[in-house]
């Protein structure tokens, strides 16, 4: 019998027998299941993994599989009929130029020259990446039956179920599409939700890669300012009224570049404002697994409590693993899911199965939780080292917000001629042997001040951070006036 059919049949059989066991009760051993159902150990392993992904079974290394305790009640289905009106409102110019400007993205993708410290990086340094676990996961994935065959276009069911569980109890595997990383998911979402020429509301400042995607799709980004508590709801509502936009893109958790977390009192308000406007919220949850050690408990994604399908959720494994593990997910409810699916199939057919299988192996391994804890501790340590070094060497810079997650600091430059200051700092820094990201690409309109973004995740550790800040001090000598009263690097 085909391996996949055997796995599905065994999972169905085991699912039907779960009521025989009390919550926490132990299921038969893998050997007993092999003998009873006359299937291979691999079939048993994958069937049990499917039940684990569904939250019905838990496994304990060395002990076996056990029936899970009953999950919390799933929210009642919401009303997604409003989307028919929103999705059909495709007005706008007939022809819109779609210029592609990748300069803001290339700043964080291009490797600096040898000897230059990479404060402009957008990914974890190799010392923070789980390279051994990734290699082992890829090797195990390659041995899975059918690993090089064609996957389902929506993604492997087990991986879709895992992402659904990570998003929240109100999201099911049927709501999830596997994507080739977060950038691909953002591109799919924006093309699905807005026609060329339409406005799209974005946080200001925001991720340059998203701005590039929007402009390449012929959309018109409209800025909505953020503060240390995230996007301002009053300005968001005003922007919807002024533009008639049907899409708002936001990063509620560890916003890039500011590191802000959307305040608890604003979360439901943002979704309600979008719902009242007949609009979607694209939630880019890129940094959830980059939380710092000892940070406050994380709020759930906006999509976790959204029965009406206002939120289109984007997430990825790339940021916390490796730039080359381009595996992410889109989660949505209602008619919009079919449009997302259609665009993804036309663009890429599907995400390569070996990558999906490797992702499953990685997140299912005991080392996964250890990796997340290690990254959390390291990021906090590096953030502390960079903040201390800047306070000592460059007190002229202003840190509006000290992040509790993510991998960078967003710093405001002193002085009135902000554009000239920013360009001068970036150029002088590179000559001094340190690459920094300019702030201008993070704004879709005129920036209110000059900024730089400094990554502490892309370097080897505290020693390199200290040296990088020393080089930056050398670069900035003569560019800034001495700090005045109250003008110091303070969160």
Report helix, strand or coil for 79.
coil
User: Interhelix angle for 30-37 vs 41-53, to 10°?
Assistant: 110
Whether residue 90 is contained in a domain is answered as no
**Residues pairing with 451 in the sheet:** 412
Whether residue 174 is contained in a domain is answered as yes
Residue 196 has, within 13 A of its CA and on its CB side, a CA count of 10
CB 204 within 8 A of CB 226: yes
Phi, psi of 291 (to 5 degrees): -65, 150
pLDDT of residue 74: 58
Residues 58 and 117 in one domain: no
Residues 249 and 333 in one domain: yes
Report helix, strand or coil for 117.
strand
Residues 315 and 220 in one domain: yes
Whether residue 117 is contained in a domain is answered as yes
CB 443 within 8 A of CB 204: yes
Tell me which residue has tokens 């009303």.
79
Residues 123 and 136 in one domain: no
Residues 286 and 138 in one domain: yes
This prediction has a pTM of 0.81
Cα separation, 282 vs 303, whole angstroms: 9
Domain that holds residue 119: 103-127+369-476
Q: Looking at the 3D structure of the chain, how many domains does it have?
A: 3
Whether residue 409 is contained in a domain is answered as yes
Contacts of 191 (CB under 8 A, 6+ apart): 217, 343
Angle (nearest 5°) at CA 488 between 487 and 491 = 115
CB 261 within 8 A of CB 203: no
Contacts of 236 (CB under 8 A, 6+ apart): 201, 224, 248, 270, 273, 274
Q: How far is CA 63 from the centre of its chain?
A: 34
pLDDT of residue 282: 97
Residues 122 and 148 in one domain: no
Whether residue 116 is contained in a domain is answered as yes
pLDDT of residue 54: 84
Tens place of pLDDT for every residue, the chain, 491 residues? 345 567 888 888 898 888 888 888 888 998 889 888 888 888 888 888 888 888 888 888 888 889 988 765 556 678 887 887 777 765 555 555 556 676 666 666 677 778 899 999 889 999 999 999 999 998 988 888 888 888 888 999 999 999 999 999 889 999 999 999 899 999 999 999 999 999 999 999 999 999 999 998 899 999 999 999 999 999 999 999 999 999 999 999 999 999 999 999 999 999 999 999 999 999 999 999 999 988 888 999 999 989 899 999 999 999 999 999 899 999 999 999 999 999 998 888 888 899 999 999 999 999 999 999 999 999 999 999 999 999 999 998 989 899 999 999 999 998 755 555 788 899 999 999 999 999 999 999 888 888 999 999 999 999 999 999 999 999 988 777 555 544 455 55
* CATH code of the domain in which 14 resides: 1.10.10.10
Residues 336 and 417 in one domain: no
Tell me which residue has tokens 């996957």.
151
364, 396, 422 — which closes off a domain? Answer: 364
347, 364, 381 — which closes off a domain? Answer: 364
364, 392, 413 — which closes off a domain? Answer: 364
pLDDT of residue 51: 87
Whether residue 96 is contained in a domain is answered as no
Sign of CA dihedral 165, 169, 170, 172: positive
Whether residue 344 is contained in a domain is answered as yes
* CATH code of the domain in which 399 resides: 3.90.1150.10
Residues 323 and 408 in one domain: no
CA distances from 94 to 197, 198, 201, 421, 468 (A): 8, 11, 21, 40, 50
* CATH code of the domain in which 246 resides: 3.40.640.10
Cα separation, 433 vs 137, whole angstroms: 37
pLDDT of residue 1: 37
pLDDT of residue 485: 40
CB 440 within 8 A of CB 427: no
Residues 56 and 163 in one domain: no
Residues 42 and 184 in one domain: no
Whether residue 80 is contained in a domain is answered as no
> Burial, 98: exposed, middle or buried (Cβ in 10 Å; 0-12, 13-18, 19+)?
exposed
Residues 378 and 395 in one domain: yes
Structure-token pair, residue 439: 């702030």
Residues 185 and 118 in one domain: no
Structure-token pair, residue 339: 């449009």
Report helix, strand or coil for 176.
strand
């Amino acid at each position: 019998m085909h391996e996949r059919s055997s796995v599905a049949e065994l999972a169905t059989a085991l699912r039907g027998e779960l009521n025989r066991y009390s919550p926490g009760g132990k299921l038969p051993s893998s050997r007993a299941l092999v003998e009873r159902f006359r299937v291979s150990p691999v079939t048993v392993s994958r069937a049990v993994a499917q039940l684990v992904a569904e939250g019905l079974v838990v496994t304990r290394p060395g002990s076996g599989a056990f029936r899970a305790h009953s999950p919390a009640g799933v929210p009642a289905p919401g009303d997604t009929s409003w989307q028919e009106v929103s999705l059909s409102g495709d007005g706008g110019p007939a022809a819109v130029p779609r210029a592609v400007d990748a300069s803001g993205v290339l700043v964080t993708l291009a490797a600096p020259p040898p000897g230059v410290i990479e404060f402009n990086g957008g990914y974890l340094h190799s010392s923070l990446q789980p390279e051994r676990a990734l290699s082992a996961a890829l090797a195990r994935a390659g041995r899975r039956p059918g690993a090089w065959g064609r996957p389902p276009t929506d993604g492997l069911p087990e991986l879709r179920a895992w992402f659904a569980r990570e998003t929240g109890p109100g999201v099911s595997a049927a709501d999830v599409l596997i994507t080739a990383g977060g950038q691909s998911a953002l591109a799919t979402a924006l093309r699905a939700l807005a026609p060329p020429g339409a406005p799209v509301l974005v946080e200001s400042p925001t991720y340059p890669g998203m701005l590039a995607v929007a402009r390449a799709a012929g959309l018109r980004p409209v800025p909505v300012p953020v503060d240390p508590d995230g996007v301002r709801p009053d300005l968001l509502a005003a922007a919807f009224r002024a533009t008639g936009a049907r899409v708002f893109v936001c990063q509620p958790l560890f916003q890039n570049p500011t590191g802000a977390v959307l305040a608890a009192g604003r979360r439901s308000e943002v979704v309600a404002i979008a719902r009242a406007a007949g609009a979607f919220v694209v939630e880019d949850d890129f940094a959830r697994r980059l939380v710092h050690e000892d940070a406050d408990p994380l709020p759930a994604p906006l999509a976790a409590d959204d029965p009406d399908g206002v939120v289109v959720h984007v997430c990825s494994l790339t940021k916390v693993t490796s730039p080359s593990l381009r595996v992410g997910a889109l989660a949505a409810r209602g008619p919009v899911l079919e449009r997302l699916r259609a665009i993804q199939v036309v663009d890429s057919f599907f995400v390569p199965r070996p990558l999906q299988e490797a992702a499953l192996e990685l997140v299912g391994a005991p080392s996964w939780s250890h990796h997340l804890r290690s990254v959390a501790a390291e990021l906090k340590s590096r953030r502390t080292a960079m903040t201390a070094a800047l306070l000592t060497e460059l007190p002229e810079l202003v840190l509006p917000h000290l992040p509790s997650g993510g991998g960078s600091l967003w710093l405001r430059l002193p002085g009135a001629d902000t554009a000239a200051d920013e360009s001068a700092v970036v150029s002088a820094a590179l000559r001094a042997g340190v690459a920094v990201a300019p702030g201008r690409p993070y704004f879709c309109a005129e920036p209110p001040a000059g900024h730089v973004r400094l990554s502490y995740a892309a370097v080897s550790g505290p020693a390199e951070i200290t040296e990088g800040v020393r080089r930056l001090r050398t670069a900035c000598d003569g560019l800034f006036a001495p700090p005045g009263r109250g003008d110091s690097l303070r969160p």
